[in-house]
Amino acid sequence: MFVDSLSWGVIVLVLLGVLLLVGGLVGLVLLIVGIAKRKTAVWVIGLVCLVPVVLAALLAVPALVFLGIAIPARMATPMVMEAPEALMPMEESGEGDFVRMGNGRATARAAGVDIEVLRPGSGSSGSSTSTHHGLGGLKEEHRIHLGDVTVDIRNENGRLDLSVNSRDCGRVSPGDQVVVTEDRQVFVNGMPR
């Protein structure tokens, strides 16, 4: 279920609307009974209950106009997006992600992290990205296949975690250099993991 700040705002507005509706109905009944029974205190209480309802109705018109514009635009964004497995562009230039194999090594970039695998072995190269928006925020996973090595970079609200061939290798940051050696040891910025 996707609930963001706009959705919480809508929920709060609906609850306030229900409370004001109930208060308005109580105020209207007290006003009518007070006038019919000629009880000044009762119709004054009814009138006092109706004042917030009238003020809320005056404020509700701009709020409904805003929500009428904001909600359809927000609902156009899918709640869960799954990217199909696809080969990233085969270019190393620029800031974007890529996957490249050749000359006994494989290189890739995902989430700003540069990856190099020495002697990647047999197997294909490719990558996939899946993105989930939810209560915990943004969760994104990059999976890169470089021969017999699989590199996963998980991004949870800006925190990047690295695993190589299902082995946890700790946190990384954009700009880090990950090297997987021929014997599958993992180094991040020259330090073993």
My answer on whether 63 and 96 are in the same domain is no
Boundary-marking domain end, from 38, 53, 77: 77
Domain total of the chain:
2
Within the chain, which residues score under 50 in pLDDT?
1-3, 73-93
My answer on whether 93 and 44 are in the same domain is no
Q: How much is the pLDDT for 139?
A: 85
Range of the domain at 58: 5-77
My answer on whether 100 and 178 are in the same domain is yes
Q: How much is the pLDDT for 179?
A: 93
Mapping DSSP to helix (H, G, I), strand (E, B) and coil, where does residue 65 land? helix
Q: How much is the pLDDT for 158?
A: 83
Cβ atoms of 34 and 42 closer than 8 Å: yes
What is the β-pairing status of strands 177-180 and 113-118?
Answer: parallel
Boundary-marking domain end, from 77, 100, 122: 77
Q: How much is the pLDDT for 64?
A: 66
My answer on whether 15 and 62 are in the same domain is yes
Q: Which pTM was predicted? A: 0.49
My answer on whether 108 and 173 are in the same domain is yes
Q: How far is CA 68 from CA 20, 106, 156, in A?
A: 21, 50, 31
My answer on whether 153 and 131 are in the same domain is yes
DSSP H helix total and E strand total for the chain: 2, 12
